[in-house]
Amino acid sequence: MIKIALAQINPIVGDLSGNMKKIVHYIKRAQQSEACFVAFPELALCGYPPEDLLYKEHFVKDNMRALYKIAREIKEITAVIGFVDMDKKKNLYNAAAIISHGKIKEVYHKHKLPNYGVFDEKRYFVEGKQHKIFYMGNVPFGVTICEDIWHDKGPYWQEVREGAKIIINISSSPYDIDKLQDRERIVKKRARETKTPICYLNLVGGQDELVFDGSSFVVDEKGKITARAKEFEEDLLIVEFPLRKKKSAFVSLSPLARVYQALVLGARDYVRKNGFKKVVIGLSGGIDSALVAAIAVDAIGKENVVGVSMPSRFSSSETQTDAKQLAQNLGISFKEISIETIFKAYLETFSKEFKDCPLDITEENIQARIRGNILMALSNKFGWLVLTTGNKSEVAVGYCTLYGDMSGGFAVIKDVPKTKVYELAKYYNNKESRAIIPSDIFKRAPSAELRMNQKDQDSLPCYDVLDGLLADYVEKHASYATMSRSQNKDVVKKVIKLVDKSEYKRRQSPPGIKISSLAFGKDWRLPITNQYKEF
């Protein structure tokens, strides 16, 4: 019987010293658990994805020097550690080092380099070619890296044919709503194909717009899951071979809970890893800012969240009351700063230029930009990070103001459709077993409150319809012809036009957490200057 440890860790991209210390710490924990083998995720040493840091040769060399320092700490255990390798021709490889007795014994280079969605690995790395068998004691095992296991008859297949009795797959697989079931399906299939147990080890943590959920697991040769690591948390999963399925205390999260935890982890790591202590949020009394505030409290603590209400002549007493009540329920600091005096100054300043012009979107955007400037002033003065509150539905169709409500450092719900915002807000209240987000916020028709009696649906289709169209057009790349078969043609045309012409806004928006199969950002690269017409 052998004991294997899977170290599901949360590294920081570029923090070679900190990541090295974390890896050594988990090696010692694995040894204390009497494991003879410990594995770490893909590129764990440098963090994933390192992106254009890889063009800095000194960074790559520093990562290799850190690996040698770790090797000297490894005495009575075998370790597999993800790092960046460089050959004599200065080709770079996404690599795994196999270390024991104080030395790097072997190195495996990733064969299959993903180059789709958020992945750009062919931009940096060269594909590996060799298959190797490694040993923990007398047990032969194979190593693969993330994408290697997603391809039929990939490297895992050859390793088993050459005698591997266990396959170790180290990954950095970002979360999206369907990803966990996709991973499990693929790994189970590979185990059944090869009749070989597979240890699937994933990274955990937030990195810019990506969130890695951990959720590592082990399957036996029949494709049955025998052990699981925690979701969205660091964990050291200890597994004994031959595998025996034990009764586990593991409780799988619901799909909605996973989305919520992804948002919490993504927000927490963006704030902390970038050196911020507190965040500030504009509280409108609406559902979006309420959800962002709740996520922020769960991410970094109520003492580190500041809510700011910025009423105008168009703000209802109900939304102002709800903003204040929300802050009280969450236990966060609350400020009220009216924009009326500043708005009047703008109107007076432009009174000559705008003479005889009716009030329109210009005056609406001025209000949004005043609020953005207030939040940014607080950010500059006190070092708080501004969290924006725009959802995916608004960002998609440009129902947001550049340099206004889009101003900020991080867009927590940028990839969350409006309908999902309501679901998550209800989930939050249920989780807390009380109406922390006031019930009136759920009942009130969404409004930007930038003119009298304004409602979102004055300008947009109802969100149930809009979100369905956006899922088709943005995430599935569906055509107008396909979409218009089941939806009103004029509505479909309007939505497509809004999405296409709003790209210039999205390019200037802060990064936000990816939860869908296709998020605005790295996933989506629509040209700003674009004259393609479908109709």
Catalytic residue list: 42, 110, 146
Element containing residue 30 per DSSP (H, E): helix 16-32
Residues in the chain: 535
Strand partners, 241: 2
Please enumerate, as own/partner, the contacts of 369-373 that have beta carbons within 8 Å and a separation of 24 or more: 369/401, 369/403, 369/404, 369/407, 370/310, 370/339, 370/342, 370/343, 370/346, 371/282, 371/310, 371/339, 371/404, 371/405, 372/401, 372/403, 372/404, 372/405, 372/406, 372/407, 372/408, 373/407
Distance in angstroms (rounded) separating the CA atoms of residues 87 and 106: 14
Among 385, 460, 451, residue whose Cα is nearest residue 417: 460
Please give the backbone phi and psi of residue 377, each rounded to the nearest 5 degrees, phi first: -65, -45
Q: Which two three-digit tokens encode residue 426?
A: 């209800």
Q: What's the Cα-to-Cα distance from 122 to each of 51, 93, 131, rounded to whole Å?
A: 11, 10, 20
Strand blocks (E) in 378-524: 385-388, 410-411
Contact 49, 11 (CB under 8 A): no
Distance in angstroms (rounded) separating the CA atoms of residues 229 and 215: 5
Would you call 386 helix, strand, or coil by DSSP? Answer: strand
DSSP notation for 89-134: T--EEEEEEEEETTEEEEEEE-S----STT--GGGT-PPP-----E
Q: Which two three-digit tokens encode residue 484?
A: 């218009």
Q: Which two three-digit tokens encode residue 535?
A: 């109709």
Strand blocks (E) in 40-196: 78-86, 92-100, 103-109, 134-136, 139-145, 166-171
For the CA atoms of 427, 432, 438, 440, what is the dihedral angle to 10 degrees? 40
Beta carbons within 8 Å of 108's beta carbon, 6+ residues apart: 95, 96, 98, 128, 130, 132, 143, 144, 145
Among 474, 279, 502, residue whose Cα is nearest residue 402: 502
Beta carbons within 8 Å of 229's beta carbon, 6+ residues apart: 6, 8, 214, 215, 216, 217, 235, 237
Residue labelled with tokens 């979006």:
288
Distance in angstroms (rounded) separating the CA atoms of residues 222 and 96: 27
Q: How far apart are the first and last CA of the chain?
A: 66
Cα 322-324-329 angle, rounded to 5 deg: 90
